[in-house]
Amino acid sequence: MLAADAHVQSVDPHSGETITLTVTPDSVIERSHERIGVSFLTPDKSFDADVITSFCHYVHFFTDADSAAPWLAAHDRTFLIGLDEAFELGRRWNIARGL
């Protein structure tokens, strides 16, 4: 979408570990942890104008599935996908939206 490399830093909400990654428009090229996962929310309705509260608050980076498990168990309708799958999902979403 930005047609540039992006350097991302986040904190795993369970372990507190810092997660870093570098992405290009085409792929993830660097990652601090091999098995990074991204939590998502299964929507039960269309997102409204407050997409940050209704969706974004459920999207987090985790160092791995074990670290994500307690957070997922405490948040209904959430699930974990791998970093590469999350990247591809975002890429396809942007293409579908003409970005």
pLDDT of 1 strictly over 60: no
pLDDT in tens, 23-34: 998 899 999 999
pLDDT of 80 strictly over 80: yes
pLDDT of 85 strictly over 90: yes
pLDDT in tens, 4-60: 899 999 999 999 999 999 999 889 999 999 999 999 988 776 666 677 777 788 899
Q: What's the CA gap between 31 and 83, in Å, rounded?
A: 9
Tokens of residue 46, six digits: 């269309």
**Count of beta carbons in the 10 Å neighbourhood of residue 36:** 24
The answer for residues whose C-beta is within 8 angstroms of residue 97's C-beta and 6 or more apart is none
Q: Are 70 and 14 in contact (CB under 8 A)?
A: yes
pLDDT of 2 strictly over 70: no
Domain 6-96 class in CATH: alpha beta
